[in-house]
A and B are shown apart, each in its own frame.
Chain A
Amino acid sequence: MWPLGLYWPYQKNSWGEEVSLRLSPDVERAYEQMKAFVETYLQPLEDQLPPFAQKLAPEKARDVRRALEAEGLVGWAVPKDLGGHGLGIPGLCAAREALAHTTLWSLSPVLGSEPPILLYQASPAQKEAFLLPTLKGERHGAFALTEPEAGSDAGSLSMEALPVEGGYLLTGTKVFISFVEESDYALVFARVPAKGVTLFLVDLPSPGLEIARIMETMGGARVARLEFQEVFVPTERRMGEEGEAFALAQHWFDVDRIALQPPICIGASHRALSLAAKMELLSDEEMGSWTLRLEAARALMYRAAQEAEEGRPVRHQAAMVKSFAVELALSLLDRALDLLGPQGYSQRFRIERYRRDIRRFAIAAGTLEIQNHIIARGLLKGYSRPLPGEVN
């Protein structure tokens, strides 16, 4: 039989009456508000962004954070009872799509206010110590999964978490960890012998934990190599049960593949097309062709975001959103660079900056090859996505 997942979107009246691709007026408004802020406040700061870093001078960064808070532009996906807008994953996508209209999109004061959704699954004490201060912009978390011998194949990681009295001793190496300099804690994946991969909340710094190296990249991201030598982590800093890390984190990984990189790709592509229109770089037909692909990416992203928000499994769709959006942005930015010629290669139009930054998405948080693998494996296993209202 043909997989069910290939049958949507025909359900009658299941989508309501809205016309916006962003699916709801509130989410549309989030996009407009954020975009206005980006244009008036962030774009003028772009000249202050160093070519190989994603930060501003500390006082400027504080100003940005204050301005965001003053305008009520933080915590889009944060539930209302925690002081956020409660717009869920579609809201986060919209805010980030707007944010991508500046090369400052990955500035930590902006990002910091949207903690990994994984933290909502933490224990009450952990929420008090990590989630709430993160929401206020007082703490920042890094995410430490990748190891020298475990990248795409994350399940083969070898960092050890040895149970001892009152906690664990973590030993091993983590690499390509972003935002270590800005963070004061990290979500660390480590293997408890005979139990499996387990998730820990580790303070930065901690005794025995060394930032062995900070590496610059071709974009603004700076990534760290962390050496753990018997770093003690108390039991109450373990998230979930032993061996539960991937079960806890899987939904988060899926949501991230929809809401972290794709909106940036879509917003950056939109900005590149704006520039192309202003400078009359493209024929009408080529403009139409890119617009069509961009609209297809948008339609899929917001649809997937909505499904994720409703709690439906989105693993395969997330892989599709990510790989489609990243490939689109990279090829569109390349085209814009070509058309701008030597000026495009220069820093004048910032397309080069976007292109360098977004190149990371084809590698980080699941390579494009892994996304293809997930999609193909799903198809070959006869994966079927449930219709709304059905259980997978």
Chain B
Amino acid sequence: MEIRQAAQEWVRRILAPREDLRWEHPLPEAAAKEILALKKESGFWALSLPEGEGGAGLSLEEEAAFWEEAHTSPLGLYGRSLLLAGEVPFPLQKDLSFVRETLKEGRRTVTWLLSRPFQEGPHPVLVPSRWDWLFLWHPAEGGVLLSKEGALLGKKLEPTMGSSFLLELRGDEQGDTFPPREEGDLWVARQQILLAAGALGAARRSLLESLPYTQTRQTFKAPLSQRQAIQWLLAASAKEMETARALLGQAFRDPLSYGSLAKAWAVDVALRAVDRTIQIFGGSGYTKELPYEEYWRELRLYRHLLGDHQEVLKALGQKEKASLLKEAKP
């Protein structure tokens, strides 16, 4: 896929040389601006917006491939906001002035899935290090779009274990509202799929970088890779990642049914894979010298993003129970 190669090239040329910036929280303004300008210049801008409307017009598969590749650098993680810049949430794509501003200024709009109607706050929301707008979506109630100023009024952001912040919305903030529509649900499912692909990108880098290390690191006069205790860790990660990819493939075909499943599973698989890599690298893995500890801290956020993990499992469990009882003979 051409997009994959272009995305790899983009990561190699733009993100990889700047990887030391990961020690800075948030990214220095100048560096963030420079990266965004380069992102725009490379055409990775408004990825899902049709080409005729100033976007890149990528298919979901292509956009996911970009997210996966971008996640092979910690700078591409969600909390860093780089991937959000220049993207227009689907239900807002008809709002031409919003689209124009987004395309021009690289607006960052955070999508957050509400588990109960907005008015029934409070809602603990995790926002990335830099953002401009907050788009809150509830499948039955529709959406609310809040500007950063409107959302923050009278509140403060609380730090987290990663580069994101906790913001507690009361539910009485003023913003534009949107009626419930399938395209809103589809946007959420799309974002879930992108997060799944991103998580797998981080997992892939973690697993693959541990391979040469296990082959060169000697313990008791043999490389780590000859130890079954280590081989088992590698096999477990590879196996789980393959299942997550299979589920991701299913989500591409049926985003509304499988998007949340693909995300929940891929994120968990990635967290475990990254954790195994930290274990394989030992003390070095635990330090910030290597990117894996950051991957773990940042990916942990994905469990709450766009479908809190517990909520996804609960909904899936309810649906499955109903289906199993229906199929069971009386």
Contact = CB atoms under 8 A, between A and B. Distances in A.
Interface of A: 2-3, 6-12, 15, 17-19, 21, 39, 273-274, 277-278, 282-289, 291-293, 295-297, 299-300, 302-303, 316-317, 319-320, 323-324, 369, 371-373, 375-380, 382
A320 B242 CA distance: 8
Given A295-B247, A299-B243, 5 more contacts: A274-B328, A284-B314, A288-B315, A292-B316, A375-B238
Interface in B189-225: 204, 207-208, 211, 214-215, 225
B239 A292 contact: no
B1 A11 contact: yes
Given A292-B264, A379-B235, A380-B211, A9 B245 contact: yes
B240 interface: yes
A278 B326 CA distance: 10
A325 to B, nearest CB: 10
Contacts, number: 158
B301 interface: no
A277 B328 contact: yes
Interface in B31-63: 59, 61-62
Given A2-B204, A7-B4, A287-B320, A277 B246 contact: no
Interface in B7-30: none
Which bucket holds chain B's interface residue count? Answer: 35 or more
Interface string B257-278: 1100100110000000000000
30 contacts: A6-B245, A8-B249, A9-B246, A9-B248, A12-B61, A15-B249, A17-B253, A19-B253, A39-B329, A277-B321, A283-B317, A284-B313, A286-B317, A287-B317, A291-B316, A292-B265, A295-B250, A295-B258, A296-B243, A296-B246, A296-B265, A297-B243, A299-B243, A319-B239, A320-B243, A373-B228, A373-B231, A376-B225, A379-B235, A380-B234
B147 to A, nearest CB: 35
Contact of A274 (B238, B318, B327): B327
A243 B241 CA distance: 37
Interface of B: 1, 4, 59, 61-62, 64-65, 204, 207-208, 211, 214-215, 225, 228, 231-232, 234-236, 238-250, 252-254, 257-258, 261, 264-265, 310, 312-318, 320-321, 324-325, 327-329
Contacts of A9: 245-246, 248-249, 252
Nearest to B205: A2
A320 B238 contact: yes
B235 to A, nearest CB: 4
B240 A324 contact: yes
Contacts of B320: 273, 277, 287-288, 291
Give the one of A6, A319, A373, A376 with max B CB within 10 A.
A376
A296 B215 contact: no
